[in-house]
Amino acid sequence: MMITPKKDPMGAAIADFHRLGKAARLRVFSPDFDEDEIPVATLFRSFEEMPTLEQQALQMARGRILDVGAGAGCHSLCLQEMGQTVTAIDISPLAVETMTARGVHDARQQDFWSVEERYDTILMLMNGIGIVGSLNELPHFFHHLQQLLADGGQLLLDSSDICYLFEDEEGIIELPGGTYYGELEYQMQYKSIKGDAFPWLYIDFETLADSATTHGFTAELIQMGDHYDYLARIVKQGK
Ligand code: SAH
């Protein structure tokens, strides 16, 4: 799946911010929650401005690196400065254009699911695993990861256990029944550009680790963040 500029609100926001140093509101809608907003400037964060979890991930990256859903390229640019070799992919044409203009040497408009080369490190930061959409897709995801990772290769990702969204005034968490509570639906809008709705997964570490193990990987909790977030490493077993 690839998106066109007409349906690329995030890309338009990124391109505006790059050109003008500011952007309008990047709005996020979800049937489950009140309207929200992504501060566009945060997509342009420097190493110093990044959360510790992300800094840690960048320091652990090695070998041939793939930055999945690279956005404005903040992580790829840091890695280049650290002397690393990185390929940045994004389905947004405007994001890719902006990354190239900002100096990302190898930025490609490509869908994660169609990547065929192998990498030693795959980065999915800022909840990049969101693109998996639902728990049902995890087997498909791990199967693809098996193809993408070189032997001993690693996936570094951060996500959140969003159980806190279901906390009442007394601090008691009551999770909804039915589908997994981390499966959200999002839609974004920038100025008059509205994207299609898409599924977006947040996953708690336990659930992620169980699935990783089932599919022949090892999962390691590297670090906990301040608010139900974490950095994990998924390693492909050698033969
Ligand atoms: N990683 C960046 C951007 C996060 S926003 C950061 O931390 O700042 C998520 C990005 O993933 C968006 O730019 C979106 O276009 C991209 N994306 C969504 N689905 C994708 C897919 N299937 N393959 C590659 N990129 C994808």
**From CA 99, how far away is CA 15, in angstroms rounded?**
9
| Of 91 and 166, more confident | 91
Range of the domain at 205: 50-182+201-236
E-state strands within 51-197: 64-68, 85-90, 107-109, 119-124, 149-160, 183-190, 193-194
> Domain holding 119: CATH number?
3.40.50.150
Output the six-digit token pair for 205: 């570490």
For residue 5, tell me if it sits in a domain: no
Distance 43 CA to ligand 1 centre (A): 11
The answer, yes or no, to whether residue 238 has pLDDT greater than 80, is no
What is the position in ligand 1's atom list of the atom closest to the CA of 89?
24
For residue 11, tell me if it sits in a domain: no
Distance 232 CA to ligand 1 centre (A): 18
The vertex-144 CA angle with 218 and 66, nearest 5°, equals 80
| 126 C-beta closer than 6 A to ligand 1 | yes
pLDDT digits (tens, 9 = 90+) for 99-117: 999 999 999 999 999 999 9
Distance 151 CA to ligand 1 centre (A): 25
For residue 44, tell me if it sits in a domain: no
**From CA 190, how far away is CA 172, in angstroms rounded?**
36
**From CA 89, how far away is CA 99, in angstroms rounded?**
10
Distance 130 CA to ligand 1 centre (A): 9
Residue nearest to atom 3 of ligand 1 (CA): 71
Q: Cα Rg for the chain, rounded, in angstroms?
A: 17
| 14 C-beta closer than 6 A to ligand 1 | no
For residue 20, tell me if it sits in a domain: no
User: Taking the model in full, what pTM does it have?
Assistant: 0.97
DSSP classification of residue 41: G
User: What total of structural domains would you count in the chain?
Assistant: 1
For residue 82, tell me if it sits in a domain: yes
pLDDT digits (tens, 9 = 90+) for 31-75: 888 999 999 999 999 999 999 999 999 999 999 999 999 999 999
For residue 34, tell me if it sits in a domain: no
3-state DSSP percent of the chain in helix, strand and coil, to 5: 35, 30, 35
DSSP structure string for 180-224:
-TTEEEEEEEETTEEPPPEEEE---HHHHHHHHHHTTEEEEEEEE
The answer, yes or no, to whether residue 239 has pLDDT greater than 70, is no
Distance 233 CA to ligand 1 centre (A): 19
| 58 C-beta closer than 6 A to ligand 1 | no
For residue 189, tell me if it sits in a domain: no
**From CA 152, how far away is CA 234, in angstroms rounded?**
10
For residue 37, tell me if it sits in a domain: no
